[in-house]
Every structure is written in C-alpha cells, then in structure tokens.
Amino acid sequence: MKLFNSLSMKKEEFEPLEAGKVKMYACGPTVYNLIHVGNARPIIVFDALRRYMEYRGYDVTFVQNFTDVDDKIISRANQEGATSAEIAEKYIAEYQTDAEGLGVRPATIHPKATENIGPIIEIIKTLIDKGLAYASNGDVYFSTSSFDGYGKLSHQSTEDMLAGARVAVGDIKRSPVDFALWKASKPGEPKWDSPWGEGRPGWHIECSAMSSRYLGKTIDIHCGGKDLTFPHHENEIAQSEGASGEPFVRYWLHNGFISIDNRKMSKSLGNFFTVRDAAEAYGYENIRMFMLMSHYRSPLNYSCEILQQAQSALDRIKTARSNLKFIADNGDGDAIKDSERAFVDGLPSYRARYIQALDDDFNTADAISVIFELVRDGNAMTAAAKKPSKALASAILSMLEELADVLGLFYADDDASGDSLADEVEGLIEARQAARKAKDFAEADRIRDQLKDMGIVLEDTPQGVKWKKA
C-alpha cells in the first residue's frame, strides 16, 4: 500500500515498523464544544483507514487523545460557571455521540491529557536535561534553535518563521518561535505540582507524552488535519525526537479542509456547521458518505446540495442491497444457474479493483466508484436473469456488503422486517394482491395509498411484493 507522507511530500510504500502491526495516533478534539463538519473529516477518514488496514490483515493499535485541559476549556468553564473537568466530561460525551453516529469505532485507547501529567512532566525534565528546553518564570519553553530538524515537516526554516512571525518577542521566551511545554497556572485555573511550580501542560507536549506512553518511541502513522502540520505536529517531532533520540513517526498523514463558499470552515471564522445540526438535516451516514466520496487530501466544499447528492448516491447502494436481500430470500432456487455462473465467478474482480484503489494512497473516491459498478452490474444481472436464483443474489450481496463494510458505509441498518407494523402491513399487502388478482385496481390503489399514509412504500417485483418505510 502506498501512502502520501507529508514529511517527504511523496507517496511511499507503507511498511510498518513491526511486521503485521500498525501503530497509529490521531490528535483528538479539545473538548469545549460540539464538533463541526470540518472536524469530522479526519475522524471519519482515519477511522476508515484503520478499518481498511484491519481488512488487509494488520493488527492496528489506534490511539486518539482527548485534550481536556486547555485555555478554551477554561474560558468556557468560566462562562458557564462550571469547572474545566465538568466541561471536558460533557463534551467528551457529546463527541462520542457524534462519533458513534458517524459510524466511527472507538479507538483502541482514548487517553486524556489530565491522566498523563506524570509522563508529561517526565518528558519535559528530559528535554531540559538535554538542553532543549528552559524554564522561565514558572513556564517551560522548548528551544527551537537547539533542535536540528525543526521545520522538517512544515518545510520551513526557522529563519523564514522568524521573518513571518506575527508574535511579538517577549522577555520570557528567548525566541518567538519557541513554544510552551508547561504553563504556570493563574488563579482559579486547573493546576498540578511540578518542578517549576504549579501549572499545566502546553498543548503540544501531551501528544508526545501519550504517543510514546501508549505506542512507543517510534510509531507508524500519525494523522490529523493539514492545519496541525504547523505548529502542532512540527512541535511534536521536536519534543519526541529531542527526548528519545529516535525517529518519532514513519508516515505523517494530513487531510485537506472542508470549506464553505470557498473559505475554510473554522471556529475562528465562525462559518461552521456542527455535525449535530448537519446530521439532523441529512443524517449521519450521509455525512460519512460525503467525506469518503472524495480523496482525503483534496479540499472539499460543503453545501446542502452536495450532502443531498451524497444521500442520493448512498441511497442507490442501499436500495441495491435491499433488493438483493429480497431476492436472496425469495429468488428462484437455491443453486446458482448456468447462466449466472460466469457473473458469480467474476465477482472477485470487483474486490481486486477496490483494493487497488485503496492501496493507492487510500483513494476512497475511486474505490466507491467500484462499488457503484458492482451495483450497476449486479442490478443488470438480476434483471437479465428473469428468474434470478437466491444464490446469485446472495453472492452479489455478500460482495457488496464486504466492500461497503471496509469503509463503514453500512452501519445504520434500516431493515424494517422486524417492525411492529409488520403483521398489519403483510395483511394489507395480501388484501391488495387479492384485489389485483381480481383486476380491482381501484381497491388495490386504495390499499397502497392507505399504506403510504402509514409511511410504507410498496414495490411489485417479479419475486413478490417488497415493502419498506418511506
């Protein structure tokens, strides 16, 4: 499999440090409000990547942290008259609601910054001992000029950063490019004891600490949004490699942004839609479909129209699945017919092309087009077969479900057969069939309308009457 590595700016063949195992770290949310659609992109895309790697036989350990101590959480807490811990707890729960809705599986481990203060302090001590960090006024800063590779991920030299720096030089930091590892706490803020006085960790250091604690000094994949490249990920490299003396990450993966009217969706611009609101309007699974329909590194514009397109597209696949299920239950005979043989034998070629697409820098857009081809060809085959066998439909269905499950496209099961209305619906369908047989179409249509009012839609198929909720 090839992956585009932000460090080398090239597609590279993926080889994990340890054969058969993948260690993956994603920077998780700072929990001070609901996540927006832009935040959802890495969450969905890298969940799908994790599923794919497991599908390909890797044993994946996936760590995603919660940043639960931070300026924004503190200010939110002050606004709401709550503690930071209460705010963090509330929005972790909200995050989990959205993640689950989006079909995102929980990470192997979800560590919290506040549960890792000890390891954080240890790394900071090591960095000071090595001359890469300095304490100043109760704060501790990383000395970027002391670390050789600083800038290698964002491909910028420290001189260029200094030239463009918009941060004023203060008395406390030796260089404007230096960043905080530890911040002295102000009155009323969450605080922990440390060799430098009471304080709290800076944002960047927590990821270095948690990554090495749960995954080791060198990990395979570190992923996140493109905007984290600098300074966050650059700083993580400086901290982790500075402390351990070993390479930190083998493959850096960064997703492109979601924009609105060609502007990046962001909290600071205020032009965002929360996942919660978008899901209410269009459904969680269509948001997932929308994200996976294009390549993860491409910029992606968000609009109502595009979400509706994603919904129509996903509906096509879901309808095909439901039609295949119906034939698999009601088809003509259990055995594959001679006329169906060649098609069934050809099914693995869809899987092969699907894998080929995903092996090329996780090209989900191309992969999904293979699903659509399977849908189209499968539909055509069952239609052309006149009396398709149960076995034909099952074979197509199982390939379709296998491929869709790799990316987690089918997680909301809308099978209505177990519904409490089922008996009543079946009775009405029988009555309508009797009327149709008697050519009493007025009565048949009346019953169909009655069912429609109940939210039930009928389809007359060669295999019998199929019904679903509208």
Partner RNA sequence: GGCGACAUAGCCAAGUGGUAAGGCAAGGCUCUGCAAAAGCCUCAUUCCCCAGUUCAAAUCUGGGUGUCGCCUCCA
Residues 405-464 that bind RNA (CB under 7 A): 436, 441, 444-445, 448, 457-461
Closer CB to RNA, residue 129 or residue 315?
315
| Three-state SS letters, 185-246 | CCCCCCCECCCCCCEEECHHHHHHHHHHHHHCCCEEEEEEEHHHHHHHHHHHHHHHHHHHCC
Taking the C-alpha atoms of residue 259 and residue 262, their distance in angstroms, rounded to an integer, is 5
Omega prior to 231 cis, within 30 of 0: yes
From 165, 281, 304, 438, residue interacting with RNA (rule: CB under 7 A): 165
Closer CB to RNA, residue 373 or residue 415?
373
Question: Candidates 96-104, 140-148, 163-171, 408-416 — which segment interacts with RNA by CB under 7 A?
Answer: 163-171
From 7, 22, 24, 27, residue interacting with RNA (rule: CB under 7 A): 27
Taking the C-alpha atoms of residue 381 and residue 350, their distance in angstroms, rounded to an integer, is 15
Binding mask 37-76 for RNA (x = CB under 7 A): -xx-xx-----------------------------x----
Closer CB to RNA, residue 195 or residue 356?
356
Supply the DSSP string of 268-336, one letter for each residue: TTT---BHHHHHHHH-HHHHHHHHHTS-TTS-EE--HHHHHHHHHHHHHHHHHHHHHHHHHHHSS-SSP
Assess 293 for contact with RNA (CB under 7 A).
yes
Closer CB to RNA, residue 132 or residue 458?
458
Assess 158 for contact with RNA (CB under 7 A).
no
User: Facing residues of 26 across strands?
Assistant: 64, 223
From 117, 313, 347, 412, residue interacting with RNA (rule: CB under 7 A): 313
From 25, 91, 95, 203, residue interacting with RNA (rule: CB under 7 A): 203
From 306, 416, 421, 454, residue interacting with RNA (rule: CB under 7 A): 306
DSSP summary character for residue 71: H
Closer CB to RNA, residue 58 or residue 296?
296
Q: Which residues contact 149 (CB under 8 A, 6 or more apart)?
A: 237, 238, 241
Between residue 84 and residue 143, which ones bind RNA under the rule CB under 7 A?
none
CB of 319 to RNA, least distance (A): 4
CB of 26 to RNA, least distance (A): 9
User: Facing residues of 249 across strands?
Assistant: 219
Buried-exposed string 205-239: b where 16+ CB fall within 10 A, e elsewhere: bbbbbbbbbbbeebbbbbbbbbebbebbbbbbbbb
CB of 426 to RNA, least distance (A): 17
User: Facing residues of 253 across strands?
Assistant: 223
CB of 187 to RNA, least distance (A): 22
Between residue 316 and residue 345, which ones bind RNA under the rule CB under 7 A?
316, 319-320, 323
Question: Candidates 87-95, 118-126, 289-297, 396-404 — which segment interacts with RNA by CB under 7 A?
Answer: 289-297
CA distances (Å), origin 467, targets 280, 376, 390, 429, 452: 25, 22, 19, 9, 10
CB of 460 to RNA, least distance (A): 3
Taking the C-alpha atoms of residue 220 and residue 222, their distance in angstroms, rounded to an integer, is 7
Closer CB to RNA, residue 39 or residue 116?
39
Assess 264 for contact with RNA (CB under 7 A).
yes
CB of 441 to RNA, least distance (A): 3
CB of 113 to RNA, least distance (A): 12
From 145, 266, 274, 330, residue interacting with RNA (rule: CB under 7 A): 266
Q: Residue 122 has which token pair?
A: 């240890």
Assess 80 for contact with RNA (CB under 7 A).
no
CB of 357 to RNA, least distance (A): 7
**What's the CA dihedral at 38, 372, 321, 310 to 10 degrees?**
30
Assess 270 for contact with RNA (CB under 7 A).
no
Between residue 369 and residue 408, which ones bind RNA under the rule CB under 7 A?
369, 372-373, 375-376, 379-380, 383
Question: Candidates 12-20, 55-63, 153-161, 332-340 — which segment interacts with RNA by CB under 7 A?
Answer: 153-161
Binding mask 215-234 for RNA (x = CB under 7 A): ---------xxxxxxxxx--
Q: With CA atoms as reference, report the closest residue to 183 among 169, 170, 196.
A: 196
CA distance from start to end of the chain = 41
Q: Tell me, by CB under 7 A, how many residues bind RNA.
A: 85
| Three-state SS letters, 424-435 | HHHHHHHHHHHH
